Amino acid sequence: MVQVHFLPENCTVSCEAGDLIYDVATAAGIFIPTGCLMGSCHACEVELAGGERVCSCITPVGSGPLIAVYLLTDPTW
């Protein structure tokens, strides 16, 4: 099991390594805007600890005891 900590919501949930970040957030009741659900539109982009930006709809949760995910805000969504 992996702990995923969503910021700024300050919500930590458990999931399996390999689960998609978007699916984990949705199951936890956290809204991430989406467009295509294929990683093309980048509407679901989040930032991982360390600064890497990824599309949450196609990016699996990595292995590790705790993964931090920073939700980005866009006033147009």
Identify the H or E element spanning 66. Answer: strand 66-71
**Is 48 within 8 Å of 67 (Cβ atoms)?**
yes
**Is 69 within 8 Å of 3 (Cβ atoms)?**
no
Total-model pTM: 0.91
pLDDT tens digit string along 7-32? 999 999 999 999 999 999 999 999 99
- What does the pLDDT read at residue 72? 87
